[in-house]
């Protein structure tokens, strides 16, 4: 049968010896040389000469917060580019003057990039937004700075997660406040559309959405019904929704081609930026060792319930103490290797932890952009953890050496595989370094495996969906920062062209 599309005169790093592929009905029909595919050309076949550009399987972001990425582009006051604390405050001052509505909500500040090297606090926000409630979410999402009117909306008393003097809310306290001020459905739908458009610009054709709130699910469904969702979204529900998902009979893969439920996400600790990642040894720059948010016994009960319901569990664990707790829970739950449960972030595993993960069949879902952002001599991780722990953080090479399936994502900080690739290909420390081929596989085939989608995504092969990214150069021989996304295809249709 004739092809709908033939791409030729291209480089295919993941399929040596070919320069062309044919697409029919949204699926790759054949791969080979252009002369070999001549028989697939019919009167209505579109033929695309790529002039030597590089074609990879569409990138898969195996861990992101997709709606949040969209809200950062449409709704939140953006503090991610602020070069100082004063610049961040000026952005908030301007937003309070120009924006309508009751709240001023900002996101993306990172004090490690500021000369002041200190976080936003209540007194700062009171000075620039004195009357309206205002909160500013740190880049990692685990710390929210509030002004006095915003703190008045927090019913929790001072304690481990609430510091009213500083105006800081951590973990559950922070998320409860943000849930109470969620934007309306129209704004959420706009965010889904903006995130999908942005993903296409980055060559991303599929994402694992780790914020599967019911309000977000409704926004996804609306965008899907209106034909505005152009990204494959694999959804993970909050752990507190596990019982509801089980009662509704949801199973892994529930949904369709563009939107499906995979399982639930649990938090065992917080973040390094908020000093809530659970460590075996206290932080270098503080007197705390972080916070365990979920114990092994409680996590094991959730794990058994998820496994019985054929739902995947994605467990957030950054610090070494948290990772040890996850492995203890997995053993208590008696999980099966075939369930492909996941540990998200996995930043400070020991060799013992990695051996345990390999035995249990756990997937390592990691974010090499964290290395780009914060690892290396004189940088944030070294300041907060010390040189020894910075030198062994995010050990991608050790994960692969233990035979653990590796999937790369971004956590939305920022989204973009070309940004993250250098954190795996040319990082500051040896245990972080893997080959370009291995890094590309973690953003494609490895990510597909983590989502039980390897039969349809992650490779350029006959029978796989024609989700493709066209790059200006080959990441095996060109620095990722010098490469541009030229085109993105979803099911053989162009969803982005430069």
Alpha-carbon gap, residue 33 to 394, rounded angstroms: 39
Q: Where are the beta strands (DSSP E) in 125-258?
A: 134-138, 143-146, 162-163, 168-170, 204-209, 232-238, 254-255
Exposed, middle or buried, 228 (CB in 10 Å: 0-12/13-18/19+)?
Answer: middle
pLDDT at 162: 94
Cα 412 versus chain centre, distance: 5
Q: CA distances (Å), 428 to each of 102, 175, 391, 407, 414, in order?
A: 45, 33, 8, 20, 19
| Degrees to nearest 5, angle at CA 122 with 95 and 93 | 15
Question: What is the pTM assigned to this prediction?
Answer: 0.95
Among 148, 80, 153, residue whose Cα is nearest residue 114: 80
The string of pLDDT tens digits covering residues 177-198 is: 999 999 999 999 999 999 999 9
The string of pLDDT tens digits covering residues 266-305 is: 999 999 999 999 999 999 998 899 999 999 999 999 999 9
Alpha-carbon gap, residue 80 to 88, rounded angstroms: 9
Q: How confident is the model at residue 160 (pLDDT cuts 50, 70, 90)?
A: confident
- Please give the average per-residue pLDDT across 409-420, as a whole number: 97
Q: Which long-range contacts (CB under 8 A, 24 or more apart) does 478-487 make?
A: 479/422, 479/426, 480/418, 480/419, 480/421, 480/422, 480/425, 481/418, 481/419, 481/422, 483/418, 485/201, 485/202, 485/203, 485/418, 486/53
The sign of the dihedral angle between the CA atoms of 480, 483, 484, 487 is negative
Looking only at the bridges linking them, the beta strands covering 104-109 and 134-138 are: parallel
The sign of the dihedral angle between the CA atoms of 186, 109, 379, 168 is negative
pLDDT of 367 over the 90 cut: yes
- Quickly count: other Cβ atoms within 10 Å of residue 298's Cβ: 14
Among 263, 105, 283, 244, residue whose Cα is nearest residue 187: 105
pLDDT of 158 over the 90 cut: no
DSSP 205-235: EEEEES---HHHHHHHHHHHHTT---SEEEE
Cβ proximity of 416 and 202 under 8 Å: yes
The structural domains of the chain, with segments of one domain joined by +, span 76-180, 185-456
Cβ proximity of 270 and 319 under 8 Å: no
pLDDT of 130 over the 90 cut: yes
The separation between the first and the last C-alpha atoms of the chain, rounded to the nearest angstrom, is: 31
Q: Mapping DSSP to helix (H, G, I), strand (E, B) and coil, where does residue 388 land?
A: helix
Q: Give the single-character DSSP code of 138.
A: E
Alpha-carbon gap, residue 298 to 53, rounded angstroms: 51
Architecture of the structural domain at 185-456: Alpha-Beta Barrel (3.20)
Q: Give the single-character DSSP code of 129.
A: S
Q: What is the longest distance spanned by two Cα atoms in the chain?
A: 73
Architecture of the structural domain at 76-180: Roll (3.10)
Q: Mapping DSSP to helix (H, G, I), strand (E, B) and coil, where does residue 356 land?
A: helix
The string of pLDDT tens digits covering residues 3-49 is: 999 999 999 999 999 999 999 999 999 999 999 999 999 999 999 99
Q: How many residues does the chain have?
A: 498
pLDDT of 330 over the 90 cut: yes
pLDDT of 156 over the 90 cut: no
């Amino acid at each position: 049968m004739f092809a709908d599309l033939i791409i030729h005169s291209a480089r295919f790093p993941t399929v040596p010896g070919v320069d062309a592929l044919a697409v029919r009905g949204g699926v790759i029909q054949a791969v080979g040389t252009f002369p070999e595919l001549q028989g697939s050309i019919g009167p209505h076949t579109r033929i695309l000469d790529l002039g030597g550009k590089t074609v990879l399987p569409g990138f898969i972001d195996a861990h992101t917060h997709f709606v949040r990425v969209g809200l950062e582009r449409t709704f939140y006051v953006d503090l991610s580019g602020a070069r100082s604390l004063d610049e961040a405050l000026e952005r908030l001052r301007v937003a309070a003057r120009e924006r309508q509505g009751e709240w001023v909500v900002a996101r993306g500040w990172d004090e490690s990039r500021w000369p002041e090297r200190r976080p936003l606090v209540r007194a700062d926000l009171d000075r620039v937004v004195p009357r309206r409630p205002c909160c500013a979410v740190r880049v990692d999402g685990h710390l929210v700075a509030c002004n006095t009117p915003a703190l008045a909306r927090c019913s929790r008393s001072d304690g481990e997660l609430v510091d009213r003097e500083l105006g800081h809310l951590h973990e559950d306290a922070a998320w409860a406040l943000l849930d109470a001020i969620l934007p309306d459905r129209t704004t959420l739908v706009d965010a889904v559309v903006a995130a999908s458009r942005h993903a296409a610009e980055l060559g991303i054709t599929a994402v694992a959405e780790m914020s599967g709130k019911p309000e977000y699910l409704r926004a996804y469904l609306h965008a899907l019904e209106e034909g505005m969702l152009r990204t494959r979204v694999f959804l993970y529900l909050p752990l507190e929704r596990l019982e509801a998902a089980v009662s509704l009979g949801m199973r892994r893969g529930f949904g369709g081609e563009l939107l499906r439920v995979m399982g639930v996400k649990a938090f065992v600790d917080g973040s390094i930026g908020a000093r809530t990642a659970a460590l075996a040894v206290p932080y270098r720059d503080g007197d705390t060792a972080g916070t365990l948010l979920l114990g092994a016994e409680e996590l094991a009960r959730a794990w058994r319930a998820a496994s019985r319901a054929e739902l995947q569990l994605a467990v957030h664990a950054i610090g070494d103490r948290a990772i040890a707790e996850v492995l203890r829970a997995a053993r208590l739950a008696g999980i099966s290797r075939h369930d492909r449960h996941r540990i998200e972030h996995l930043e400070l595993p020991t060799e013992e932890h990695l051996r345990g993960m390999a035995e249990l069949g756990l997937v390592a879902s990691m974010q090499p952009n964290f290395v780009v952002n914060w690892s290396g001599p004189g940088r944030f991780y070294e300041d907060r953890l010390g040189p020894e722990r910075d030198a062994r953080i995010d050990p991608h090479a050790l994960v692969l050496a233990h035979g653990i399936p590796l999937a790369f994502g971004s956590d939305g900080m920022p989204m973009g595989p070309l940004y993250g690739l250098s954190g795996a290909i040319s990082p500051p420390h040896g245990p972080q370094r893997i080959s370009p081929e291995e890094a590309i596989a973690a953003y494609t085939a490895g990510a597909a495996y983590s989502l039980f989608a390897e039969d349809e995504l992650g490779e350029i092969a006959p029978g796989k969906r024609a989700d493709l990214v066209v790059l200006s150069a080959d990441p095996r021989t060109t620095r990722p920062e010098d490469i541009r996304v030229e085109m993105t295809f979803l099911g053989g249709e162009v969803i982005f062209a430069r």
